Structure 1
């Protein structure tokens, strides 16, 4: 199963925001620059994360973005469910004529549920806990991250 780039970068953004000290704000530009994503794309991602209640945006001169709730409460499996269509294959009878007798769809559904169950076991905080190497990478000035 492959996540869309949208979900991939949303998870990265949440991890970066989770690494910030409590209450600290950062900018969408900083997040997009950190991961080499266009600012326009990151604006859409942050907007969606805000609509879903994962990110809080603060307007104004000293504004920015931060997590809307504690990193330990943001379950990665739920984020994926909220952002991904999660349809492994199209089993609509008008699309596939073997759907009524197909057994593959049940196995694919079980595989998808196992995938999500694994992601339900971890939170954004789990990605950061005892992970000094990640924290260093997220806080290093951008010009030092180039290979």
Structure 2
């Protein structure tokens, strides 16, 4: 998510793995794997070479956070009974916990489904002050940039505070 949020805050240019690693305190090796996966899933566009970097493959307003988590957080068994192949639990048929955990996981994704990347990043002054003090979001100037006296005002996103 940090990679996507950083790219959403820098829509005016390609960003590099190195700068994301520095700002987000992340390993470049780990970021390389995440970036590759996000590109394969169609969330990022990457460009190799001397002037290369990465950017969002589509507008931040079209990237649904629930979709990102569904793709990135591969179905990890919350308990042994969720593993189809390795399940040796003798309680599976009578256990009510499995159904509760399934409902909880579904609720998690349903909570994220109405949220877009744009809603997480744009007009989030504390975030933009960290990752992009002069950033633009989806072609609109951030509140952080406006507060510093640059460009015009941002249309405020009421979705997330």
TM interval, short-chain normalised:
0.7 to 0.9
Q: What is the TM-score when the length of structure 2 is the normalising length? A: 0.75
Measure, in 2, the Cα distance between the counterparts of 1:21 and 1:52.
19
Deviates more, 1:92-101 or 1:118-127: 92-101
Query: Aligned residue for 1:47?
Result: 36
What displacement does 1:21 show?
2.9
Measure, in 2, the Cα distance between the counterparts of 1:41 and 1:94.
30
Superposition misfits of 4+ residues, deviation over 6 angstroms: none
**Cα deviation per residue 1:17-53 (whole Å; 9 max; x = unaligned)?**
001134x101011111111111111111101111101
Q: What is the TM-score when the length of structure 1 is the normalising length? A: 0.82
Please tell me the root mean square deviation across aligned C-alpha atoms, in Å: 1.5
* Residue of 14, 18, 30 corresponding to 2:8: 18
Query: Aligned residue for 1:5?
Result: none
Query: Aligned residue for 2:49?
Result: 60
- Richer in helix (by share): 1
Measure, in 2, the Cα distance between the counterparts of 1:43 and 1:94.
33
Measure, in 1, the Cα distance between the counterparts of 2:24 and 2:124.
18
Gaps of 5+ in 1: 1-10, 141-147
Query: Aligned residue for 1:7?
Result: none
What displacement does 1:64 show?
0.6
What displacement does 1:131 show?
1.3
Gaps of 5+ in 2: 134-161
